[in-house]
Amino acid sequence: MSDANDPWLIVGLGNPGPEYAANRHNVGFMVADLLAERIGGKFKRAPKAQAQVLEGRIGPPGPLSRRVVVAKPMSYMNLSGGPVSALRDFYKVPLDHVVAVHDELDIDYGALRLKLGGGDNGHNGLKSMTKSLGPDYHRIRFGIGRPPGRMQVADFVLKDFSSTERKELAFLVDRAADSVECLLAEGLERAQSAYNS
């Protein structure tokens, strides 16, 4: 069983490289980048894992402050499980202290859903993580909506957010980062009632 002193591993899912940076599929990286900014540090190469990491603390000083490792796997989305598993072993993170932040097709754009465990819903990053870790980690699902018309899902997730979506994106990424902080400080139920939409 985990305790309050155990570190948390916050994994933003995405694809490495500038050509993917603004894609819908990379919203997990966007949230990880904002958390890193809030902590006030820079990502560095992870020891023993194909990932970039930042170690620090999240939350107000005192008993609600949490030790965290914010990570961005550099393996491409469908191979995320390997780096996440290596990070979890290296930092000795209990499984219920692993949080994946990822894009979600079946939720309206900008809506958030926090949950513990569950299926992968066809998401290759989650599929890979579940294969490596089992399903019992937290997920913060960031809605990107369904592709319009006959557009293929693979094309849709690898496209940048539309100009209309981009108007709200910074606010929504900020809210997703807030939900991570709330989950760590106050627990899943509290975070769900505050942020699930």
Task: Report angle CA 34, 41, 3 to the nearest 5 degrees.
Answer: 80
Q: Cα(41)–Cα(44) distance, rounded to whole angstroms?
A: 9
Catalytic site includes residue 102 = no
**DSSP for the chain, written as a single string:** ---TTS-EEEEE----STTTTTBGGGHHHHHHHHHHHHHT---EEPTTSSEEEEEEEESSSSTT-EEEEEEEESS-GGGTHHHHHHHHHHHT--GGGEEEEEEETTS-TT-EEEEES---TT-HHHHHHHHHH-S-SEEEEEE--PPSTT--HHHHHTSBPPHHHHHHHHHHHHHHHHHHHHHHHH-HHHHHHHHB-
**The two structure tokens encoding residue 29:** 């990286």
User: Which residue in the list 25, 97, 102, 123 is annotated as catalytic?
Assistant: 25
Structure tokens at 155: 């094309």
**Residues annotated as catalytic (active site), given as ranges:** 25
